[in-house]
Chains A and B, each alone.
Chain A
Amino acid sequence: MTTVALPAAPMTRKGFTTLTAVQARLLLREPAALAWLAVPVVVVLVLGSIPGFRTPQAALGGQRVIDVYVPTCAAMVPLFLALTALPVTFASYREKAVLRRLSVSPVPAAGVLGALVTVIAALAAVGVLTVVAIGALVFDVKAPAHPAAALAGFVLGGAAVLALGLVVAARARTAGAASGLGVPLMVLNFFAAGLYVPVAELPQTLQRVCEFVPFGAVTAIWSGHGPLWQHLLVLAGWTVAGGLAAVRFFRWE
């Protein structure tokens, strides 16, 4: 979902592959971290099983509640992973001096971060596809009006929140500090993606504001609200700004 930092010369390809495999195993071994997949899937299944949510609503422009919530639930996956799992994992490595030990091995700084981002991006892709597939196969949710735009939205949105997650990871000294910074960002994106109240039912001004939050832009692309170029520009802007800030503020210890 984002450009992966290429392993620098001193690190072998085998080293990078092993590091990535270990990161994936560790992330899947963390029971609490499985929330990234479990919560969105459960929410989709629960909402979809309420009969009233499967009938068209005038307030939603003739769409059903479940139609609106599938992209929102899919958005939860990259938000969980990029804004909590990534910074909390990385900060705990800093807190427990795992990074200090790695720093005397041939692994360059970018290697660890690259491996973690690779794993997070892959898991996010799997999670988003799972939620969308449940929507389509179980609840007959229609594909978005412009599938290519929706795909681009999720890819770019994922990159944007990964970049923001990296900013938190770059600075947070402890796992606690990382979740203290990451969780509010995640909740803000949940809101803008319409998790608490469907965006279409919000006041006009607030709807406009939400379009400038990364996953507010992503869900707007999915539902076809507002100009596509503006949403893509918002996402690219967050990705570039976040990436630059992460590089600027990065600290090993």
Chain B
Amino acid sequence: MAVIEVEQLHKRYGDEVAVADVSFEVEQGEIFGVLGPNGAGKTTTVECLAGLRTPDGGRVRVLGLDPARERDALRQVLGVQLQHSGLPDRLRAREALELYASFYRRPADVPALLDRLGLTEKAGTAYKKLSGGQQQRLAIALAMVGSPRVVVLDELTTGLDPHARRATWELVEQLRDTGVTVLLVTHFMEEAERLCDRVALIDAGRVVAVDTPAGLAARAGQRQRLRFRPSAPLDVEALRALPEVTAVSRHGSLVEVEGTGNLVHAVTSLLARRQIIAGDLRVEQASLDDAFVSLTGNR
């Protein structure tokens, strides 16, 4: 049984349609990504899942519960980290966790949770005095403190430095390893590629594609790109003549070749025959990033 079911979700604010038609299912134990440009309707979808907004059309279920009508039962099993949410300035990290723990029937152990999120040393620090990364980790801890079966994380790592971002990703993986189903809303491709089992790509309030990150990347085509610095002058026309090559361009001393099929072999063979060495060789394959751009038509 799917843990999260969204069927033809529709939500408008006045005349403005925030979510036109969104459907997807999330299976038990998955990390499922909801990906899309800003304003695509990601946060509205999450708010409908969390019971903060009532859909104007369609059906939403989380663990079989209707978020709009069974809010109280849902709150006990769903942990949510919302984009744009805060705590009182003078509330300390441990107090925040103990407070939220007291709301749930099956709370997690607060000292263990502090430890797991690397907040033990900051347990007595006021919320205002925590760094952005620490506040974000506290937000994740608060989403986990009720021992939820499903966790929704909205723009988890926005505003974090690369180090804190990686540490946060490890936390999400640990969470999944304990059997929790995770819905991750993001506009970072790298984050989705690293963490998600499957991804729903949303654009302008509609689902454009649901697939694995690799599957989505493949949809963007088999396009490959090679960049190198030839050790001797190179006849660009000879490269163009290769059947695998679709485009060649020069950027100073750098040559960039685009193509399909066994492009790397074709180009390197040609260079070998002419006794040219390809310095600084880089091979790029279509990524989720490319899929995002080609499937949503903007970025």
Q: Which A residues form the contact surface with B (CB < 8 A)?
A: 9-12, 14-15, 17-19, 22, 25-26, 29-30, 92-93, 96-98, 100-101, 103-107
Contact = CB atoms under 8 A, between A and B. Distances in A.
Contacts of B142: 101
Interface stretch (B11-19, B90-98, B236-244, B263-271): B90-98
A202 B105 CA distance: 59
Contacts of B99: 18-19, 22
A127 B152 CA distance: 44
A213 B71 CA distance: 42
B85 A100 contact: yes
Interface in B58-91: 71-72, 75-76, 78, 80, 82, 84-91
A92 B127 CA distance: 14
A129 B95 CA distance: 30
The prevalent SS among residues of B at the interface is loop
Given A18-B99, A18-B102, A10 B88 contact: no
B102 A14 contact: yes
B188 interface: no
9 contacts: A10-B72, A10-B76, A12-B102, A12-B105, A17-B102, A22-B91, A26-B91, A98-B86, A98-B87
Contacts of B85: 97-98, 100-101
Given A22-B95, A101-B142, A104-B75, A15 B88 contact: no
Interface of B: 50, 52, 71-72, 75-76, 78, 80, 82, 84-91, 95, 98-100, 102-105, 139, 142, 146
A129 B162 CA distance: 56
Contact of A106 (B91, B98, B103, B139): B103
A80 to B, nearest CB: 19
A100 B104 contact: no
B181 to A, nearest CB: 16
Contacts of A92: 88
